[in-house]
Structure 1
Amino acid sequence: MGRVRVRQHVNPLSGKYRQPITLPHWEDIYGNYAQPLHLDIGCARGKFLFKMASLYPKTNFLGIEIREPLVTEANEHRDRLGLTNLHFLFCNINLFLNPLLASLRPDVLQWVTIQFPDPWFKHRHLKRRVVQAELVDTLAQYLADGGTVFLQSDIKIVAQEMGERFLAHPNFVKQHSENWLPKNPFDIATEREIASLNKGKYIYRLLLKNLNKLVSLY
């Protein structure tokens, strides 16, 4: 797969990323639309999802990415691999998560992952971070009962903020007693996770569930 050169950081509040999206016809996207769905927010080049889609053919995977060239590249590679349970979508998730999830079959969304999101360290840029209260509210509405949310970052303050925003919502509770989950429950690492571990960085992880019914991890 050839690598497209793109900017590492893009401003999700700029007009370029506020244009309405065209919602896919999901029945045409997936080989079996009835399968449960795993949503990966901020999927970058999608390497995590390529591995997951190959390992779990009875689950559909949807990667959301704000950098359109990466989405085009990933969908072309998916087609070359012949994966019918994987799709990538160019989308500003903080603006269009609600209509996106409303277009899905009820209760199809079972898993959500948000891994190493852009930290936006400057105080005036905090509103650019992906995990905002509105995103949490929307996921609480559309994630199936007992559905799972997995969060991770190598930056503690970012992981803490994500966790605090989810746990401030009455629907979400932690699935582990430790402050941080010691191991990635999917056993598939993203490029950033591999690079961070190779540098000896600690990974801050949280595993949450929606309401009271537990859904197993595949």
Structure 2
Amino acid sequence: MSRIKVRQHVNPLSIIYQQSLIPPDWSVIYANLSAPIHIDIGCAGGRFLLQLAEKNREWNYLGIEIRESLVVYANQKRDEVSSNNLHYVFGNINTSLATLLASLPPGKLQRISIQYPDPCFKTRHAKRRVVQPELVNDIARYLPTGGEIFLQSDLEWVAQEMCDRFSENPAFCRTQTDWLEPNPLGIPTEREIATLNKGLPVHRAIWIRD
């Protein structure tokens, strides 16, 4: 994202990120409220969802990002292509996910993706990581039976830790024990492209809501 200045890392526990977001009027955002919804948590500049929304017009897409400048940029790019099945919101998912999910059309949430989250390497910063037990519980409450969780990271320990959090919740089961190859969604993120260009592996998994 060379066009805008963006902080690479933020502390989601900071007081400035503790206010819960106010969900928009989805009937204004999406042309077809009966379509299934895919949420991308930590969508950054939104390139991945923009391409996915163009490829799959029968789905609605929602990106959530804690860095507000990236959300502004992503919605500008969406407006340039006049997409009516895509939107981005600014918010801290660890304080706003339940509110956001409760506001969606009932039963329409069908997939959540969490890709290349900030690893927060230091042990004392573990609570800053995106996938916490509370987040998994919120997803379990609102994701219908058969809904998907798509996880991926270029760091195996990060991917494994995310999988561990979902394995601890009896509402989810993993589709296979080894890492998925190739990307089942068919659209790579910018981080994924950079990782693969270096000849490095990407660790992916899908979990299903029982």
Which residue does the alignment assign to 2:180? 181
Q: Deviations over 1:13-33 (max 9, x none)?
A: 111111232210111111111
Q: Deviations over 1:50-72 (max 9, x none)?
A: 11000111100000000000001
1:19 maps to amino acid: Q
Which residue does the alignment assign to 1:129? 129
- Alignment check: 8 A CA contact 2:20 2:92 kept: no
The 5 A counterparts of 1:200-215 are 200-211=199-210
2:110 maps to amino acid: Q
Which residue does the alignment assign to 1:68? 68
CA RMSD of aligned residues (A): 1.1
Which residue does the alignment assign to 1:216? none
Which residue does the alignment assign to 1:194? 193
Q: Report the Cα offset of residue 167 of structure 1.
A: 1.1
Quote the Cα distance in structure 2 between the aligned partners of 1:2 and 1:195: 15
Size of the aligned set, in residue pairs, is 210
- Aligned to 1:74, what secondary structure does the other structure show? helix
- Aligned to 1:157, what secondary structure does the other structure show? helix
TM-score by length of 1: 0.94
Q: Report the Cα offset of residue 2 of structure 1.
A: 7.3
Residue identity (%) = 53
Q: Can you give the 5+ residue segments of structure 1 that lack an aligned partner in the other structure?
A: 212-218
2:169 maps to amino acid: H
Which residue does the alignment assign to 2:25? 25
Q: Can you give the 5+ residue segments of structure 2 that lack an aligned partner in the other structure?
A: none
Q: Deviations over 1:109-158 (max 9, x none)?
A: 00110000000000110100000001101111111110011100011111
2:196 maps to amino acid: L
The 5 A counterparts of 1:1-218 are 3-176=3-176, 178-211=177-210
- Aligned to 1:107, what secondary structure does the other structure show? coil
- Aligned to 1:164, what secondary structure does the other structure show? helix
Runs of 4+ in 1 over 3 A off after TM superposition: none
Q: Deviations over 1:150-186 (max 9, x none)?
A: 100011111111001001111111112x421121101
Q: Report the Cα offset of residue 3 of structure 1.
A: 2.2
Quote the Cα distance in structure 2 between the aligned partners of 1:200 and 1:149: 26
- Aligned to 1:95, what secondary structure does the other structure show? helix
